[in-house]
Each structure stands twice: as C-alpha cells, then as structure tokens.
C-alpha cells in the first residue's frame, strides 16, 4: 500500500483538458474542468452520482460532444468531430460498466476485431498477443467461448484484454465493477492493479474506495460538474480539505448501533 | 366404381400446369421478397434517423400500407392506375408492385425494431475500439441486427408467399387459379377432384415454405452456439 501511494515522479503530459464545458440540453454537467494526465499516472475520479465523472471519461474518448474548451491527446485536439477521430480513439482503451462484449463473437474474435480491422494488423500476430493477454488474466481456456457463457467478472476481464490488445496509450475505466456481484469485483480489480503496476496510464471512475486508495496516484473529487478537491490518496482519505469531500467519505462509514 | 378424383391430376398436362402455376407464385414472391428486403433495410435505417419530417413520412407510409388490406392495394394499383392515369400494367407487374410496397413497409419496421433494440453501448464499444462508422456497422451492428431480425423476417417472407394467392383476383394465373381451372374443367367427370387439387396445392405451398423455416431454425441454432 505504502509504495503504491507514494507520488511517482510525473511523466510527460499525455492528456490535457482545458476549460472543458459539457451540457446536456440546458443542464451543465461539466463546468470549466481543467486537468492534466501524465504518462504512467493512475487518476481516480470520485464523486457522488451525477457529478459528471462518467461524462468526463466519455468526453476524453470523444463519445460526447463538448460545448467548450478542448481535450488534447499527445498534441492532437480531439473535440473536433474530425475524420481522424477513430484513429485517435485507437490510442485510448475504454471499458464500460455494462458488459460491452459483442455477443455474436467468441472471446477471441472480440479481442482481435479492433487490431485486425481498425489497425489492420496480421491475424497470426494479433491472435498470439490476444492469447498471451488472456493467459495473463487467467482466461485462455475461454478463448472460444461466447460472452453469454462467461460470468460478469470474466466478461469484464475480457473487455479489458480487448482494449489492451490495441496497445492504448491510456485506459479509461467507467465503473467497471458496478454491475458485478461482490465476489466478481476482486478478480477485475486485481487485473487493474496489475496494469497500474506495469505502468499503464489510467483514468478510473469507481465506487470502490479501498481500491481507489490502493491504486491511485491522484484522486480527483468531483461534485456538481467541478473539481472540488485534488490530492494524493493518502491525504484525500485521511484528511480531506473540503467539507464536501468529508461528507462524501462519511457515506462509506457506518456507526455501530 | 366410385370416382376418386385423383386421376384428374394425371390427366393431360394438369400436374405440369399446377407446377407452372407454382412457378408464377414463386417468381412473384422471390422477386418481391428480394426487392422489399433491400428497400426495407434502407427504410429501416431511415426510420431510426432523428429527422422529424422523415419520421412522419415513413410513419404515414407504414400505417397506410398496414391498414389497407392487400387486396385493396392490388385493386388500387391494377384497376386504379388504369382508370386514373391510363397506365395499363399487367397483373403480374401490379402484383409485384403491391408486394414490394407492402413488404418494404413491413420489413422496414422490422429492421427499425431490430436496429433500435441493439443497446447503445454496443455502438459505443465499437467506436471506442477505434472502428470507423462503416466498420462498426459491418462487423458489430448489422450482424447482430440480422440475428434479431431473422425469425420475424422469415415469418414475413412466408406470409408474402401465401398472400400471393390473392392475385388470382386481378387475373394472374398462378397456382391457385390453375387449380380452379382444373377443377372447373373436370366438374362433371370427377366432382371430387377439388379435394385432390387443393390437397396438392397445399402440399406445393408447404414444400416452398417449409425449407425456409427449416433454414431459419438452422441459422438460429447456429447463431445461438
């Protein structure tokens, strides 16, 4: 725990978010958000439901139209609806809350679709890599299974592998364990911890506080579309500086009757 | 000896004539099904668009065709066009036009239903993998749409084949009409021929429609595993 929560020396900036504004119709969901994400950093977004954390994640992948500001990935602006958007997205891996595997394809087909079609890589090489990655998450024996034959936790591990096989520069995780049974949560979080250790740049939205504490280099606490607090996990969880964050963290504590 | 009526089937060219009638039925059906499937897919995609004007137009078209009995549509096209615009179409062409208009509307609605039943996150995960819109449709959305569409589409196809029996009424000589002619011609010599002729017609429709439902069952099973 100790060594993980130590602040890493920040690498160069990978994603720059400047004055991001996002509205759904007339409701502002993200108000003037500015945030830099560095190479190799694990950023965890926390906050109450509806605070805009998932929306922020979706904006980074260009899944939401934004109304102001800009998002820059490795020097390339991505808020324009450019024809290159699918190329930019290839550098960004994303795993969603709902199991998003393609139900008509086997596990292996799910994983190699992106590398084969979007990146046009050779089949043999992609299959080999997919199998190695599956081995790492302990699912090699499931490579010819269909998604509906897998448990929720297995599906999410496959979804992570599918994103990884594209060699993303950054991985986005949108409440990936929220729909899972408690016993399944652990196996998915373990895979994410391993990734973090290997130095993957990650932005994680989660409600698992213990996990956030363990994995994060930096906690961003959002409420009502603004960044309320930003600090290292140690400080955030033991000594949050804002009342709003204290209030939020208290939700996870229970008093004895 | 009691007349069985069955020999009517083997008199002269009677059986061959029934098969020729069946060919007319099949020809009209196959052509209409192919064209309405293609147009229906396009219509279904248009119907999922958010443009309100397109929505109203496609909705009106669909409701109009659905409410109208196919027979009325046939009369409208066959007799109506001639009366109103002096366009003289053959019965077969009129039938194809009506079946394409009807089939496209029904197929369009099925395609719309199938497309909208694909969850949004399927579109999004395709996008998130860096697929282009075209790739996303080709590899992710359309294969799933077809799988959802298949049972109802097959149902529609068999309905279309069976409904072609209505075109007797605009003078197209298809399998049912040929049957009637045979029955009429032998009414005095073998009065019970009707049972045999209609029995054969039943069997002919069956051998056209049954392989289609077998095929659809096969595909459903194959796609489930």
- Report the pLDDT value the prediction gives residue A1, as an integer from 0 to 100: 42
- In Å, what is the CA distance from B95 to each residue of A67, B25, B86, B155, B176? 53, 10, 17, 20, 15
CA distance B204 to A162: 51
B128 in contact with A, Cβ within 8 Å: yes
Q: In the numeric block, which tokens belong to residue A132?
A: 């190695």
State phi, psi for B136 to the nearest 5 degrees: -60, -45
The average pLDDT across A138-144 equals: 92
Contact B139 A94 (CB under 8 A): no
Q: Any idea what the Cα angle at residue A134 is, between residues A154 and A62, rounded to 5°? A: 75
- The pLDDT value recorded for residue A219 is 93
Across chain A, mean pLDDT equals 87
Cα B68 to Cα B106: distance, rounded to the nearest angstrom: 13
Quick one: DSSP state of residue B75? H
**How far from the centroid of its chain's Cα atoms is residue A18's Cα?**
19
Among candidate residues A236, A201, A234, A238, the one with its CA nearest the CA of residue A222: A236
Cα dist. A24→A59, A66, A175 in Å? 13, 9, 21
Q: B6-222: which CATH architecture?
A: Orthogonal Bundle (1.10)
DSSP B138: I
List, for residues A229-257, the tens digit of each pLDDT value.
999 999 999 888 888 888 888 888 777 77
* pLDDT, greater one: A183 or A6: A183
Query: pLDDT by residue for chain B (225 residues), tens digit each?
Result: 455 667 777 777 777 888 887 888 888 888 998 999 899 988 988 888 888 898 899 999 999 988 888 888 888 888 888 778 877 788 888 889 899 999 999 999 999 999 888 888 899 999 999 898 889 988 998 889 888 888 888 888 888 888 888 888 887 777 888 888 888 877 777 777 788 888 888 888 888 888 888 888 888 887 765
Residues of A with CB under 8 A from a CB of B: 61, 63, 86-87, 89-90, 92-94, 96, 98, 100-104, 113-114, 117-119, 146, 159, 162-163, 166
In B130-143, which positions are buried (b, 16+ CB within 10 angstroms) versus exposed (e)?
Answer: bbbeebbbebbbbe
Q: Compute the distance between CA of residue B24 and CA of residue B171 in angstroms, rounded to an integer.
A: 12
Which is nearest to A144 in space by CA: A157, A126, A156, A131? A131
- With an 8 Å Cβ cutoff, is B180 touching chain A? no
The per-residue pLDDT for A161 is 93
The residue in chain A having the minimum alpha-carbon distance to the alpha carbon of residue B131 is A118
Burial class (CB in 10 A: 0-12, 13-18, 19+), B12: exposed
Is B130 within 8 Å of A119 when comparing Cβ atoms? Answer: yes
- Residues A205 and A45: beta-carbon distance below 8 Å: yes
Residues A123-144, mean pLDDT to the nearest whole number: 92
Give the residue carrying structure tokens 């017609």: B201
CA atoms within 13 A on the CB side of A218: 21
Residue A26: alpha-carbon gap to chain centroid: 27
Mutate to test the interface with B, among A81, A97, A104 (most CBs of B within 10 A): A104
**For residue range A20-62, what is the model confidence (pLDDT) as tens digits?**
888 888 888 888 899 999 999 999 999 888 888 999 999 998 8
**pLDDT, mean of residues A58-69:** 88
């Amino acid at each position: 725990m100790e060594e993980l929560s130590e602040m890493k020396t920040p690498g160069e900036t990978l994603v720059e978010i400047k004055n991001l504004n996002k509205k759904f119709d007339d409701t502002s969901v993200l108000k003037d958000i500015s945030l830099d994400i560095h190479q190799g950093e694990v950023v965890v977004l926390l906050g109450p439901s509806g605070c805009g954390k998932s929306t922020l994640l979706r904006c980074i992948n260009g899944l939401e139209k934004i109304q102001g500001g800009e998002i820059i990935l490795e020097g390339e602006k991505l808020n324009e609806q450019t024809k290159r958007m699918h190329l930019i997205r290839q550098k960004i891996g994303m795993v969603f809350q709902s199991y998003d595997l393609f139900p008509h394809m086997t596990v292996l087909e799910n994983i190699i679709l992106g590398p084969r079609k979007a990146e046009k890589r050779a089949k043999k090489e992609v299959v080999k890599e997919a199998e190695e990655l599956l081995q790492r998450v302990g699912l090699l024996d499931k490579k010819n299974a269909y998604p509906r034959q897998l448990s929720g936790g297995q599906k999410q591990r496959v979804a992570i592998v599918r994103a990884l096989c594209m060699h993303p520069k950054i991985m986005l995780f949108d409440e990936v364990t929220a729909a899972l049974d408690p016993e399944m949560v652990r196996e998915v979080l373990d895979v994410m911890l391993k990734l973090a250790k290997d130095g993957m740049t990650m932005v994680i939205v989660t409600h698992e506080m213990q996990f956030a504490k363990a994995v994060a280099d930096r906690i961003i606490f959002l409420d009502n579309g603004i960044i309320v607090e930003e600090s290292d996990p140690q400080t955030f969880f033991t000594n949050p500086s804002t009342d709003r964050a204290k209030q939020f963290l208290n939700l996870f504590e229970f008093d004895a009757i | 000896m009691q007349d069985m009526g069955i020999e009517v089937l083997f008199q002269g060219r009677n059986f061959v004539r029934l098969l020729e009638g069946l060919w007319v039925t099949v020809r009209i059906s196959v052509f209409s099904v192919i064209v309405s499937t293609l147009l229906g897919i396009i219509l279904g995609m248009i119907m999922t668009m958010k443009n309100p004007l397109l929505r109203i137009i496609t909705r009106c078209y669909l409701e109009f065709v659905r409410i109208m009995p196919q027979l009325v549509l046939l009369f409208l096209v066959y007799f109506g066009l001639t009366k109103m615009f002096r366009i003289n179409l053959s019965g077969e062409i009129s039938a194809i036009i009506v079946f394409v208009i009807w089939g496209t509307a029904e197929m369009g609605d099925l395609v719309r239903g199938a497309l909208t039943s694909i969850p949004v996150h399927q579109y999004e995960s395709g996008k998130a993998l860096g697929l282009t819109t075209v790739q996303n449709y080709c590899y992710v959305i359309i294969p799933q749409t077809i799988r959802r569409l298949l049972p109802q589409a097959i149902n529609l196809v068999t309905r279309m084949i069976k409904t072609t029996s209505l075109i007797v009424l605009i003078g197209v000589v298809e399998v049912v009409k040929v049957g009637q002619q045979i029955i009429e011609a032998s009414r005095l010599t073998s009065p019970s021929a009707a049972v045999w002729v209609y029995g054969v017609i039943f069997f002919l429709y069956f051998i056209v429609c049954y392989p289609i439902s077998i095929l659809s069952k096969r595909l459903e099973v194959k796609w489930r595993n």
